[in-house]
Every structure is written in C-alpha cells, then in structure tokens.
A and B are shown apart, each in its own frame.
Chain A
Amino acid sequence: MGADTTSTQLIFFIAATVLATATAGILSGIVIDLSGKASIKGRAFGDELQSEVEVINDASRVSNNPVLFYVKNTGAKTLDWYNMTVLVDGTIVTTTKSLLGGETTFRTGAVAQASYATTLAAGDHNVRVVMENGVADDLKFRI
C-alpha cells in the first residue's frame, strides 16, 4: 500500500512537472515571439520617423508631357527610390524613375526624378509621392 501511494504521488509529480514545463515553455515562446515582432515594428517606425522626402518642383512651372517630378531626400535615411509610388490627383500612375546629379543611391540630399508620360490638362493638380516605408509628401501645382 505504501508503495502504491508513493508511486501514485510520483506519477502525479511527474505529470505536474511535465505539464508546468510545457505550459511555461509555450507561454515563454509566445512572449519572446511577440517581443521580436514588437522590436521589428518599433524599428520600422523609428526608421520612418527619421525619413523624409520633399517634392521640390516649382509649383507654377511643372513640365508637361512628360510631367517631371523632382523628389529630394531631406531625411536621415537612405531610401529605395525605385520603390517610390506616385499618385497624381489621387490615382496611382506609372512613372519612369531615375536618380539625378550622378547619384547612385537615394541618400540624404539626393534628388530622384519621376517622369510621368502624359499631358495633364491645364489647371490645378496634386501629386503625392510615397516611399517604401510610408513616408510621403504632397505638392499642389498648376499646369
């Protein structure tokens, strides 16, 4: 009888320990996973804060056919100029992008050009340039 009691208690103990370990392991894994994702999100947001671009066109003298937009990196991070999204009057448009001034990267101070092969109607328009990390700039201009 004593041996039965002892073995029963031993089985309970092992079961409790295994259960506790498994539960603790799963919960720890979840916490570490969430921490990692929070770190990634936090760094991405931090990079976005340090980034800035500006459309530097002369709003009263924007060329037409093609419409050329000049985008200057005024932030502290090098950006991917080829992933620049351009919206004209609220619609995403296809543009030919290039770096100007002999630059090879869209570093701080560099200027990228987005060429939109179209003829805009005379009047007021709006362009919005969005980079890969969400930083954006708008310019209202007149043709």
Chain B
Amino acid sequence: MGFSVTAASVIFGIAMIASLSAASSVYWQTATHLEESRRVAEERTLDAVRTTMTITNYVWNNGPKTVEFTITNEGTSALDFTSFNYLFSGTITFAAQEANYPKLNGASPPNSNLLLPGETLDCRFSQISEPTAIQVVAANGAIAHYPG
C-alpha cells in the first residue's frame, strides 16, 4: 500500500511537471508577444503626440487651375511624405503632383522621402476648381488643415 501511494505520487509529480512546463512555455511566448505589442502601441502614440504639421503659403492659380501650398514639419518626428494623404474640399486624391513637385526644402526632385523636423515640403496639385479646404494626413494619422 505504501508503494501504491508512492507510485501514485510519482505519477502525479511527473504529470504536474509536464503540465507546468507546457504552460510555462506558452506563458513566456505570450508575454513576450504582448510586451512587444505594447511597446509598438506606445511608440505609435508617442510618435503621433510628437507630430505637428502646418499648411502655409496657400496659392490658387486660376489660369492653370493649380493649388500650391507648403507643409512644414513643426513637430519632433520624422515624417515619410510619400505616405501623406491629401484631401481637397473633403475629397481624397491620389493624383500625382504637378511636374517638379513636391519640393523638399525648395529642391526638386527630393533627395529623401523624409520630412524632418523644421523642413518644408512645397506641393502643387491640379484642381478643377479652387478647393474650399485642404487636409493633409500623415502615416501616423496626424492631420494638418487649411484654413486652420
């Protein structure tokens, strides 16, 4: 009888070790994934908080039907301007800009895809009529609106 108890205890012990081993492995994998995800979410939030853009130098050219404006990165995050979305009068457009635009810090073609803090991006789009408003959306969701 004593040996039966011992054998049963050994069986329970082995089963418990195997179960805890499997559970532990799953726990650490999941914890690592969650920690990584939390870090990504936090970085995204901080990036959005640090992003500020303004639209200035608005010009409507009625002859060629083009609108010009300048986007300035007044935040502390680097922005990929190739991921910008443009809305004119509330309608999004994916049309290419006019020839020799956009200009990064006044230069065309841009020598980088990044609009760094303090830098300017000159834009020119063809429009059927003068837009009532311009909205630029960065990849992280930050928005610049004109008129402000």
Sort A-B residue pairs by CB-CB distance and give the 6 closest, nearest first: A61-B90, A24-B15, A42-B30, A20-B8, A46-B37, A49-B37
> Interface digits, B1-26 against A, CB 8 Å rule (1 contact, 0 not)?
10111011001101110111011001
Q: Is the interface of A mostly helix, strand, loop or mixed?
A: helix
Question: A86: CB under 8 A from chain B?
Answer: no
Residues of A within 8 A of B (CB): 9, 12-13, 16-17, 19-21, 23-25, 27-28, 31-32, 34-36, 38-39, 42-43, 45-50, 52, 54, 56-58, 60-63, 68, 70, 72, 74-76, 100-102, 108-109, 111, 113
Q: Could you say which interface size class chain B belongs to?
A: 35 or more
Q: Offer 24 A-B interface pairs, CB within 8 angstroms, sorted by A.
A: A12-B4, A16-B5, A17-B8, A17-B11, A20-B8, A20-B11, A24-B12, A27-B19, A28-B18, A31-B22, A32-B19, A34-B23, A35-B23, A43-B30, A46-B30, A50-B41, A56-B85, A58-B145, A60-B133, A68-B91, A70-B92, A72-B141, A74-B140, A108-B139
Q: Is the interface of B mostly helix, strand, loop or mixed?
A: helix
- Within 8 Å CB of B33, what residues of A? 42-43, 46
- Within 8 Å CB of B92, what residues of A? 56, 70, 100, 111, 113
- Within 8 Å CB of B7, what residues of A? 13, 16-17, 20
Residue in chain A with minimal CB distance to B20: A31
> Interface digits, B122-148 against A, CB 8 Å rule (1 contact, 0 not)?
000000000011010101110101000
- CA distance in complex: A111, B91 (Å): 13
- Selected contact of B15 from candidates A25, A56, A102, CB within 8 Å: A25
Min Cβ gap A133→B in Å is 12
Which B8-54 residues have C-beta < 8 A from chain A?
8, 11-12, 14-16, 18-20, 22-23, 26-27, 29-31, 33-34, 36-38, 40-41, 44
**Interchain CB contact under 8 A, A63 and B34:** no
**Interchain CB contact under 8 A, A39 and B30:** yes
- Within 8 Å CB of B26, what residues of A? 35-36, 38-39
- Within 8 Å CB of A46, what residues of B? 30, 33-34, 36-37
- Selected contact of A75 from candidates B15, B18, B22, B44, CB within 8 Å: B44
- Within 8 Å CB of A111, what residues of B? 85, 92
- CA distance in complex: A96, B8 (Å): 63
- Within 8 Å CB of B113, what residues of A? none
- Selected contact of B29 from candidates A39, A101, A109, CB within 8 Å: A39
Min Cβ gap B5→A in Å is 7
- Within 8 Å CB of B100, what residues of A? none
- CA distance in complex: A28, B11 (Å): 11
- Selected contact of B139 from candidates A9, A57, A74, CB within 8 Å: A74
